[in-house]
Amino acid sequence: MTAYHHIPVMADEVIEYLNPTPGKVFADGTLGGGGHSSLLLERMGGEGMLYGIDRDHAAIAAASERLKNHPNKTIIHGNFHDINALLPEGVLLDGGLIDLGVSSHQLDTPERGFSYHEDAPLDMRMDQSQGITAKDYLNTVAEKDFAQALYAYSDERWATRIAKKLIEMRKEKPLQTTFDLVRVVDAAIPKAVRAKDTGHPARRTFQAVRIVVNEELDPLSRALEHWVVRLKPGGRLCVITFHSIEDRIVKQAFARMKNPCICPPKAPVCTCGKKPYGKVLGGGAIKPTKKEIEINSRSQSAKMRVVERI
Ligand SMILES: C[S@@+](CC[C@H](N)C(=O)[O-])C[C@H]1O[C@@H](n2cnc3c(N)ncnc32)[C@H](O)[C@@H]1O
Protein backbone atom coordinates (compact mmCIF):
# COMPACT_ATOMS: atom_id res chain seq x y z
CA MET A 1 0.00 0.00 0.00
CA THR A 2 1.25 3.53 -0.88
CA ALA A 3 2.36 5.49 2.24
CA TYR A 4 -0.18 8.19 3.14
CA HIS A 5 1.02 11.60 2.05
CA HIS A 6 -1.15 14.72 2.05
CA ILE A 7 -0.23 18.24 3.15
CA PRO A 8 -3.22 19.94 4.82
CA VAL A 9 -4.27 22.98 2.77
CA MET A 10 -4.81 26.42 4.38
CA ALA A 11 -4.04 24.95 7.80
CA ASP A 12 -3.21 28.34 9.40
CA GLU A 13 -6.49 29.81 8.21
CA VAL A 14 -8.46 26.78 9.46
CA ILE A 15 -6.85 27.12 12.90
CA GLU A 16 -7.47 30.86 12.95
CA TYR A 17 -11.20 30.54 12.22
CA LEU A 18 -11.93 27.39 14.25
CA ASN A 19 -9.79 28.52 17.20
CA PRO A 20 -9.35 25.08 18.79
CA THR A 21 -8.89 25.17 22.57
CA PRO A 22 -9.28 22.50 25.28
CA GLY A 23 -12.82 21.25 25.81
CA LYS A 24 -14.25 22.24 22.41
CA VAL A 25 -16.11 19.85 20.11
CA PHE A 26 -15.24 19.61 16.40
CA ALA A 27 -16.14 17.49 13.40
CA ASP A 28 -13.86 16.98 10.41
CA GLY A 29 -16.04 15.70 7.56
CA THR A 30 -13.11 14.89 5.28
CA LEU A 31 -10.56 13.40 7.62
CA GLY A 32 -8.14 12.17 4.91
CA GLY A 33 -4.81 11.40 6.54
CA GLY A 34 -5.82 13.41 9.62
CA GLY A 35 -3.62 16.41 8.75
CA HIS A 36 -6.06 19.14 9.79
CA SER A 37 -7.48 17.00 12.59
CA SER A 38 -4.09 16.43 14.18
CA LEU A 39 -3.54 20.21 14.30
CA LEU A 40 -6.92 20.68 15.97
CA LEU A 41 -6.29 17.85 18.45
CA GLU A 42 -2.84 19.17 19.39
CA ARG A 43 -4.44 22.46 20.43
CA MET A 44 -7.28 20.73 22.30
CA GLY A 45 -4.80 19.23 24.77
CA GLY A 46 -6.68 15.95 25.27
CA GLU A 47 -9.96 17.64 26.25
CA GLY A 48 -13.19 17.93 24.29
CA MET A 49 -13.94 15.73 21.27
CA LEU A 50 -13.11 15.54 17.60
CA TYR A 51 -15.30 13.45 15.29
CA GLY A 52 -13.36 12.53 12.14
CA ILE A 53 -15.37 11.27 9.16
CA ASP A 54 -14.18 9.88 5.82
CA ARG A 55 -15.78 7.63 3.23
CA ASP A 56 -12.44 6.12 2.20
CA HIS A 57 -11.24 3.08 4.18
CA ALA A 58 -7.57 3.86 3.36
CA ALA A 59 -7.99 7.36 4.84
CA ILE A 60 -9.67 5.94 7.94
CA ALA A 61 -6.75 3.52 8.44
CA ALA A 62 -4.11 6.23 7.93
CA ALA A 63 -5.86 8.75 10.21
CA SER A 64 -6.44 6.12 12.92
CA GLU A 65 -2.69 5.46 12.98
CA ARG A 66 -1.74 9.15 12.89
CA LEU A 67 -4.17 10.17 15.63
CA LYS A 68 -3.69 7.09 17.81
CA ASN A 69 -2.19 9.04 20.72
CA HIS A 70 -5.18 11.39 21.01
CA PRO A 71 -7.81 9.86 23.30
CA ASN A 72 -10.45 12.52 22.57
CA LYS A 73 -11.37 11.54 19.01
CA THR A 74 -13.97 9.34 17.37
CA ILE A 75 -13.22 8.11 13.86
CA ILE A 76 -16.21 7.28 11.68
CA HIS A 77 -16.35 5.66 8.25
CA GLY A 78 -19.14 7.36 6.32
CA ASN A 79 -20.27 10.17 4.06
CA PHE A 80 -20.25 13.61 5.63
CA HIS A 81 -23.52 14.33 3.83
CA ASP A 82 -25.07 12.02 6.45
CA ILE A 83 -23.80 14.03 9.44
CA ASN A 84 -27.08 13.68 11.30
CA ALA A 85 -26.90 9.90 11.20
CA LEU A 86 -23.15 9.77 11.93
CA LEU A 87 -22.88 12.05 14.98
CA PRO A 88 -24.46 11.03 18.28
CA GLU A 89 -27.88 12.62 18.76
CA GLY A 90 -27.82 15.98 20.51
CA VAL A 91 -24.10 16.69 19.96
CA LEU A 92 -23.54 20.32 18.96
CA LEU A 93 -20.25 21.51 17.51
CA ASP A 94 -17.95 24.44 18.16
CA GLY A 95 -16.58 23.95 14.68
CA GLY A 96 -16.69 21.89 11.53
CA LEU A 97 -14.31 21.42 8.63
CA ILE A 98 -14.99 20.14 5.13
CA ASP A 99 -11.92 19.96 2.87
CA LEU A 100 -13.46 18.81 -0.39
CA GLY A 101 -12.12 16.78 -3.26
CA VAL A 102 -9.57 14.03 -3.49
CA SER A 103 -6.52 13.61 -1.27
CA SER A 104 -2.98 13.49 -2.63
CA HIS A 105 -2.97 9.89 -1.43
CA GLN A 106 -5.96 8.99 -3.61
CA LEU A 107 -4.39 10.74 -6.62
CA ASP A 108 -0.99 9.17 -6.05
CA THR A 109 -2.29 5.60 -5.66
CA PRO A 110 -2.61 4.51 -9.31
CA GLU A 111 -4.86 1.52 -8.65
CA ARG A 112 -7.58 3.87 -7.33
CA GLY A 113 -8.02 5.12 -10.92
CA PHE A 114 -8.15 8.87 -10.12
CA SER A 115 -5.04 9.82 -12.09
CA TYR A 116 -4.73 10.36 -15.84
CA HIS A 117 -0.94 10.06 -15.50
CA GLU A 118 -0.96 6.32 -14.76
CA ASP A 119 -2.65 3.44 -16.55
CA ALA A 120 -4.85 1.67 -14.00
CA PRO A 121 -8.34 0.17 -13.67
CA LEU A 122 -11.08 2.81 -13.93
CA ASP A 123 -12.44 2.86 -10.39
CA MET A 124 -12.48 6.42 -8.90
CA ARG A 125 -14.74 5.49 -5.97
CA MET A 126 -13.70 7.14 -2.71
CA ASP A 127 -15.63 4.44 -0.86
CA GLN A 128 -14.63 1.22 -2.60
CA SER A 129 -17.15 -0.78 -0.59
CA GLN A 130 -20.13 0.67 -2.48
CA GLY A 131 -21.40 2.45 -5.59
CA ILE A 132 -20.55 1.98 -9.25
CA THR A 133 -17.05 2.23 -10.62
CA ALA A 134 -16.03 4.74 -13.30
CA LYS A 135 -15.67 1.76 -15.66
CA ASP A 136 -19.30 0.67 -15.18
CA TYR A 137 -20.51 4.25 -15.48
CA LEU A 138 -18.55 4.97 -18.67
CA ASN A 139 -19.59 1.72 -20.33
CA THR A 140 -23.31 2.30 -19.72
CA VAL A 141 -23.97 6.07 -19.59
CA ALA A 142 -26.14 7.55 -22.36
CA GLU A 143 -24.37 9.96 -24.72
CA LYS A 144 -26.49 12.98 -23.82
CA ASP A 145 -26.22 12.30 -20.07
CA PHE A 146 -22.45 12.12 -20.33
CA ALA A 147 -22.25 15.34 -22.33
CA GLN A 148 -24.44 17.02 -19.70
CA ALA A 149 -22.23 15.75 -16.85
CA LEU A 150 -19.12 17.08 -18.59
CA TYR A 151 -20.72 20.53 -18.95
CA ALA A 152 -22.18 20.63 -15.48
CA TYR A 153 -19.24 19.26 -13.50
CA SER A 154 -16.22 20.52 -15.39
CA ASP A 155 -17.31 23.24 -17.83
CA GLU A 156 -15.83 21.08 -20.61
CA ARG A 157 -16.34 22.93 -23.90
CA TRP A 158 -15.73 19.75 -25.93
CA ALA A 159 -18.40 17.87 -23.97
CA THR A 160 -20.56 16.76 -26.92
CA ARG A 161 -17.56 15.55 -28.94
CA ILE A 162 -16.12 13.64 -25.98
CA ALA A 163 -19.48 12.00 -25.27
CA LYS A 164 -19.89 11.01 -28.94
CA LYS A 165 -16.37 9.57 -29.05
CA LEU A 166 -16.98 7.60 -25.85
CA ILE A 167 -19.98 5.83 -27.38
CA GLU A 168 -18.06 5.12 -30.62
CA MET A 169 -14.96 3.80 -28.90
CA ARG A 170 -16.72 1.68 -26.28
CA LYS A 171 -18.65 -0.08 -29.10
CA GLU A 172 -15.27 -1.23 -30.46
CA LYS A 173 -14.04 -2.27 -27.01
CA PRO A 174 -15.48 -1.44 -23.56
CA LEU A 175 -13.26 0.90 -21.52
CA GLN A 176 -11.11 -0.81 -18.90
CA THR A 177 -8.41 1.58 -17.78
CA THR A 178 -7.67 5.25 -17.16
CA PHE A 179 -5.63 5.42 -20.37
CA ASP A 180 -8.70 4.17 -22.33
CA LEU A 181 -10.49 7.29 -21.06
CA VAL A 182 -7.50 9.50 -21.90
CA ARG A 183 -7.62 8.05 -25.45
CA VAL A 184 -11.32 8.98 -25.77
CA VAL A 185 -10.51 12.58 -24.82
CA ASP A 186 -7.50 12.70 -27.14
CA ALA A 187 -9.58 11.43 -30.03
CA ALA A 188 -12.34 13.98 -29.34
CA ILE A 189 -10.36 17.20 -28.82
CA PRO A 190 -8.56 18.51 -31.93
CA LYS A 191 -4.79 18.12 -31.77
CA ALA A 192 -4.13 21.85 -32.18
CA VAL A 193 -6.40 22.61 -29.22
CA ARG A 194 -4.75 19.93 -27.09
CA ALA A 195 -1.32 21.34 -27.93
CA LYS A 196 -2.34 24.78 -26.64
CA ASP A 197 -3.81 23.44 -23.39
CA THR A 198 -1.53 24.29 -20.48
CA GLY A 199 -2.91 21.43 -18.35
CA HIS A 200 -3.68 17.80 -19.21
CA PRO A 201 -6.55 17.68 -21.76
CA ALA A 202 -8.25 14.87 -19.80
CA ARG A 203 -8.29 16.66 -16.44
CA ARG A 204 -11.78 18.10 -16.80
CA THR A 205 -13.24 14.78 -17.97
CA PHE A 206 -11.63 12.95 -15.03
CA GLN A 207 -13.02 15.57 -12.64
CA ALA A 208 -16.55 15.20 -14.03
CA VAL A 209 -16.45 11.38 -13.92
CA ARG A 210 -15.13 11.44 -10.34
CA ILE A 211 -17.92 13.83 -9.29
CA VAL A 212 -20.59 11.59 -10.85
CA VAL A 213 -19.19 8.34 -9.45
CA ASN A 214 -18.95 9.77 -5.93
CA GLU A 215 -22.17 11.85 -6.14
CA GLU A 216 -20.15 14.78 -4.83
CA LEU A 217 -22.15 17.84 -5.76
CA ASP A 218 -25.90 17.32 -5.93
CA PRO A 219 -26.31 16.64 -2.16
CA LEU A 220 -23.68 19.21 -1.09
CA SER A 221 -25.88 22.24 -0.55
CA ARG A 222 -28.31 20.34 1.68
CA ALA A 223 -25.40 18.74 3.57
CA LEU A 224 -23.95 22.18 4.37
CA GLU A 225 -27.30 23.20 5.91
CA HIS A 226 -27.25 20.08 8.10
CA TRP A 227 -23.71 20.94 9.23
CA VAL A 228 -24.52 24.52 10.14
CA VAL A 229 -27.63 23.46 12.06
CA ARG A 230 -25.31 21.18 14.08
CA LEU A 231 -23.19 24.15 15.22
CA LYS A 232 -23.60 25.89 18.58
CA PRO A 233 -24.44 29.60 18.31
CA GLY A 234 -21.09 31.21 17.44
CA GLY A 235 -19.77 27.87 16.09
CA ARG A 236 -18.08 27.97 12.69
CA LEU A 237 -17.94 25.83 9.58
CA CYS A 238 -14.91 26.11 7.24
CA VAL A 239 -15.30 24.67 3.74
CA ILE A 240 -12.32 24.36 1.39
CA THR A 241 -13.01 23.83 -2.33
CA PHE A 242 -10.76 23.24 -5.32
CA HIS A 243 -12.83 24.21 -8.35
CA SER A 244 -15.28 26.93 -9.26
CA ILE A 245 -18.37 24.71 -9.53
CA GLU A 246 -17.91 23.40 -5.98
CA ASP A 247 -17.11 26.91 -4.68
CA ARG A 248 -20.27 28.35 -6.28
CA ILE A 249 -22.43 25.78 -4.45
CA VAL A 250 -20.81 26.68 -1.11
CA LYS A 251 -21.12 30.42 -1.76
CA GLN A 252 -24.82 30.12 -2.66
CA ALA A 253 -25.58 27.82 0.28
CA PHE A 254 -23.96 30.28 2.72
CA ALA A 255 -25.83 33.21 1.11
CA ARG A 256 -29.14 31.38 1.72
CA MET A 257 -28.20 30.88 5.39
CA LYS A 258 -27.62 34.62 5.66
CA ASN A 259 -30.85 35.40 3.86
CA PRO A 260 -33.20 32.40 3.77
CA CYS A 261 -36.36 34.52 3.20
CA ILE A 262 -38.40 33.18 0.27
CA CYS A 263 -41.01 35.96 0.18
CA PRO A 264 -41.44 37.73 -3.20
CA PRO A 265 -38.79 40.49 -3.45
CA LYS A 266 -41.47 43.20 -3.55
CA ALA A 267 -43.42 41.92 -0.51
CA PRO A 268 -43.71 44.78 2.03
CA VAL A 269 -43.09 42.47 5.02
CA CYS A 270 -41.65 38.97 5.41
CA THR A 271 -44.36 36.36 5.86
CA CYS A 272 -42.33 33.17 5.25
CA GLY A 273 -40.91 33.32 8.79
CA LYS A 274 -37.46 32.07 7.72
CA LYS A 275 -34.80 33.78 9.81
CA PRO A 276 -31.07 34.09 9.06
CA TYR A 277 -29.04 31.38 10.80
CA GLY A 278 -25.56 31.89 9.34
CA LYS A 279 -23.18 34.82 9.08
CA VAL A 280 -20.45 34.76 6.42
CA LEU A 281 -16.99 35.57 7.80
CA GLY A 282 -13.78 36.65 6.07
CA GLY A 283 -15.52 38.74 3.38
CA GLY A 284 -16.12 35.81 0.98
CA ALA A 285 -13.54 33.44 -0.48
CA ILE A 286 -10.29 33.24 1.49
CA LYS A 287 -7.27 32.17 -0.57
CA PRO A 288 -3.97 30.50 0.33
CA THR A 289 -0.93 32.73 0.71
CA LYS A 290 1.70 32.92 -2.06
CA LYS A 291 4.10 31.20 0.30
CA GLU A 292 1.76 28.24 0.77
CA ILE A 293 1.25 27.91 -3.00
CA GLU A 294 5.05 27.86 -3.46
CA ILE A 295 5.42 25.08 -0.91
CA ASN A 296 2.33 23.08 -1.92
CA SER A 297 1.21 23.56 -5.53
CA ARG A 298 -1.99 21.58 -4.81
CA SER A 299 -3.20 24.53 -2.73
CA GLN A 300 -3.18 26.82 -5.79
CA SER A 301 -6.86 26.47 -6.66
CA ALA A 302 -8.07 26.30 -3.03
CA LYS A 303 -10.69 28.69 -1.66
CA MET A 304 -12.02 28.63 1.87
CA ARG A 305 -15.40 29.99 2.95
CA VAL A 306 -16.45 30.29 6.58
CA VAL A 307 -19.92 30.62 8.06
CA GLU A 308 -20.77 31.28 11.71
CA ARG A 309 -23.99 30.01 13.29
CA ILE A 310 -26.18 32.81 14.54
C1 LIG B 1 -8.65 16.76 0.45
S2 LIG B 1 -8.77 15.28 1.35
C3 LIG B 1 -8.78 15.76 3.03
C4 LIG B 1 -7.43 15.86 3.64
C5 LIG B 1 -7.42 16.18 5.11
N6 LIG B 1 -8.05 17.45 5.40
C7 LIG B 1 -6.00 16.15 5.66
O8 LIG B 1 -5.50 17.21 6.07
O9 LIG B 1 -5.38 15.08 5.68
C10 LIG B 1 -10.41 14.86 1.08
C11 LIG B 1 -10.86 13.60 1.81
O12 LIG B 1 -12.27 13.70 1.91
C13 LIG B 1 -12.84 12.46 1.67
N14 LIG B 1 -14.19 12.74 1.19
C15 LIG B 1 -14.55 13.39 0.06
N16 LIG B 1 -15.88 13.49 0.00
C17 LIG B 1 -16.37 12.90 1.12
C18 LIG B 1 -17.68 12.69 1.63
N19 LIG B 1 -18.76 13.10 0.97
N20 LIG B 1 -17.79 12.10 2.84
C21 LIG B 1 -16.71 11.68 3.54
N22 LIG B 1 -15.45 11.82 3.08
C23 LIG B 1 -15.29 12.43 1.89
C24 LIG B 1 -11.94 11.79 0.68
O25 LIG B 1 -12.06 10.39 0.77
C26 LIG B 1 -10.56 12.29 1.11
O27 LIG B 1 -9.96 11.41 2.02
For residue 46, report the distance from its CA to the centre of ligand 1, in Å: 24
Domains of the chain: 11-101+217-309 (3.40.50.150), 116-213 (1.10.150.170)
pLDDT at 192 > cutoff 70: yes
pLDDT band at 1 (very low <50, low <70, confident <90, very high): low
Q: Centre a 10 Å sphere on the Cβ of residue 294 and count the other Cβ atoms it contains.
A: 11
**Residue ranges lining ligand 1, Cβ < 6 Å:** 6, 8, 29-30, 32-36, 53-56, 59, 79-81, 99, 101, 103, 126
Predicted confidence at residue 270, as pLDDT, reads 94
CB burial string 63-89: b at 16+ within 10 A, e below: beebbeebebbebbbbbbbbbeebbee
Residue 166's identity, in one-letter code, is: L
Ligand 1 atom closest to the Cα of residue 79 is 20
Mean pLDDT to the nearest integer, 100-126: 95
For residue 36, report the distance from its CA to the centre of ligand 1, in Å: 11
| pLDDT tens-digit map of 197-206 | 889 999 999 9
pLDDT at 6 > cutoff 90: no
For residue 177, report the distance from its CA to the centre of ligand 1, in Å: 24
pLDDT at 2 > cutoff 70: no
Distance (Å, rounded) from C-alpha 59 to C-alpha 55? Answer: 8
Ligand 1, atom 5: closest residue by C-alpha = 32
Mutation test residue for ligand 1: of 55, 64, 108, 217, the one with most atoms within 8 Å of CB: 55
Ligand 1 atom closest to the Cα of residue 7 is 8
| Contact in structure between 7 and 38 (CB atoms under 8 Å) | no
Ligand 1 atom closest to the Cα of residue 103 is 2
For residue 8, report the distance from its CA to the centre of ligand 1, in Å: 11
Mean pLDDT to the nearest integer, 177-202: 94
Q: 65-69, 194-198, 227-231 — which is least confidently predicted? A: 194-198
pLDDT band at 117 (very low <50, low <70, confident <90, very high): very high
Ligand 1 atom closest to the Cα of residue 240 is 1
Ligand 1 atom closest to the Cα of residue 30 is 12
pLDDT at 68 > cutoff 70: yes
Whole-prediction pTM: 0.96
Q: Centre a 10 Å sphere on the Cβ of residue 252 and count the other Cβ atoms it contains.
A: 11
φ and ψ of 261, to 5 deg: -55, 130
- The better pLDDT of the pair 81, 193 is held by 81
pLDDT band at 45 (very low <50, low <70, confident <90, very high): very high
Q: pLDDT > 90: what percent of the chain?
A: 95
Mean pLDDT to the nearest integer, 275-286: 97
| Per-residue CA distances from 159 to 113, 202, 243 (Å) | 21, 11, 18
Mutation test residue for ligand 1: of 30, 36, 73, 249, the one with most atoms within 8 Å of CB: 30
| Contact in structure between 38 and 20 (CB atoms under 8 Å) | no
